[in-house]
Amino acid sequence: MARFILSQGLKLITTLLFVIVAFYFLIQLSPYDPIQTELELLGVDQRNDPAIAQNIYNDLYTKNGYNQAPFYFDIVPSYYPDDYSSFSDPFIQEGVIWGLRQRIPHLEIMSLIDIFSALRKNGNACVGARTRFLLDAIAEDCLDKSSMEYEKLRQEIVNKKATWFWPKLRVHGTSNQFHRFFKNIFLAKIHYSKVDGKPVRKKISQAFMWTLALSLLVLPLCLFITIVLSYYQNVFRGGVFDLVSTSLLNLIYIIPVFLLCGFFILFFSTPIYSTFLHWFPTVDVLYFNDKKPLSALLSNSKYLILPALILILHYTSLLSRIFKTSIDEESKSPYVPALRSKGLTNRRLLKKHILPNSLFSLTTLFVELIPASLSGALIVEELCNIPGMGRLLYRSLEVNDHNVTVPLVLLITTITLLSYFLGDILYHKIDPRISTDTNTEARFETIS
């Protein structure tokens, strides 16, 4: 068992490192400019005060480490410069990268940048009218005397494209953006939200407390209700209880979560239709006491009842359908008639043999519900105003607050991998003969 846990732990760490690297490069490929977004959130007027906005942009660009290389090493053509990431002006950086991709030597591009920057600084109308890349031609009807030198040099440079080149390996050491990104994650370095200025660690920990409380209330009850309900559905198979419970669960299963949540909020948390149906507290906006978050959670715990009930109904309808199907398939196994011929009653056969052997599919789905309850409860948290991780992720994405979004997504990813690790251990505990590969195949077969 110890060797199994060690091997699975190594796989978990390797997968997590791969996810972090992949997530970093996805951020690098993102089309939006995080510095530009930060300027907008800071309220910097980039149209009326372009010089001030550019100075602030340059400071933020250097402060956030974007002037460093993207990774520990890269392989580029020999005519590439060593520091093209150091350009903080996005317009010039875009032009440099575009020129390099056109196989233009960087020294030639730098000479063109000097002339272009001077014309731009002097307020040249032709350069100011530029809307595309640095090395695009200026329209003939816009050319004036001061921009003729730029256009002549631009044409000469375009004609000096490199016909062949050697590949060059550049090693950047720890002075790169990924090392900074990974170090901040590993050390849990404090960042501040770009929206309200609060520490990101505090915002995520407070949201995690609410979501964890909701999950601890929902998941064990779902598992217990599913097992008990499936047991009695098979005991009274074909009876009134089986037909009614199966029909209700099928009805709940086909209703979307947002519609089910809206129905419960409208009819059971407000006195609009009847004071008799006002069973749950009215949905309210909940705020944290930053000094005593746990006491704030306990004092407002009554607001978790309604979203917990909605999630229990939704998850139970899913689990019971799969578990009942698994029990039906297990009941057709060859050992069932043999044990029944030996005098075992249906209840004892169901309790001692069929239900334990049917736990594999239930374990797979339950493991899937652990991360789903942390991030997938977004709709319920938003509609019921629960300040959990799902709502925090949704609202951070709305305002492009990547200081909150990035660690939150990585936290959810880590919890997902840990839940799979827990599932593998549970599989091995249920039947030690099952290997890790069998666990993985069983998981994907159940999901499909």
Q: For 328, what's the count of Cα atoms within 13 Å in the CB-facing half-sphere?
A: 9
Token pair in block for residue 109? 């591009």
Block residue for tokens 């170090």:
183
- Contact in structure between 423 and 364 (CB atoms under 8 Å): yes
Q: What is d(CA 54, CA 40) in angstroms, rounded to the nearest whole number?
A: 13
- Contact in structure between 374 and 211 (CB atoms under 8 Å): yes
Q: What is d(CA 135, CA 104) in angstroms, rounded to the nearest whole number?
A: 10
Q: How high is the pLDDT of residue 143?
A: 59
Block residue for tokens 């590993």:
186
Last residue of a domain, one of 186, 221, 243: 186
206 and 175 in one domain? no
Q: What is d(CA 215, CA 380) in angstroms, rounded to the nearest whole number?
A: 12
Range of the structural domain that residue 181 is part of: 35-186
Q: How high is the pLDDT of residue 445?
A: 45
Cα dist. 52→35, 46, 59, 159, 278 in Å? 14, 8, 11, 37, 56
254 and 298 in one domain? yes
The CATH number of residue 378's host domain is 1.10.3720.10
Q: How high is the pLDDT of residue 179?
A: 85
Q: What is d(CA 24, CA 414) in angstroms, rounded to the nearest whole number?
A: 15
- Quick one: which of 297, 218, 299, 309 has its CA closest to 265? 309
Q: What is d(CA 400, CA 64) in angstroms, rounded to the nearest whole number?
A: 16
Block residue for tokens 């990035």:
406
128 and 267 in one domain? no
Q: How high is the pLDDT of residue 444?
A: 38
Last residue of a domain, one of 186, 209, 242: 186
Q: How high is the pLDDT of residue 167?
A: 86
170 and 117 in one domain? yes
149 and 111 in one domain? yes
Token pair in block for residue 384? 């019921």
262 and 174 in one domain? no
pLDDT beneath 50: ranges in the chain: 129-133, 436-448
Q: How high is the pLDDT of residue 221?
A: 92
At residue 371's C-alpha, the angle toward residues 427 and 423, to 5°, is 5
205 and 178 in one domain? no
- Contact in structure between 261 and 386 (CB atoms under 8 Å): no
209 and 335 in one domain? yes
Q: In one letter, which amino acid is 291?
A: K
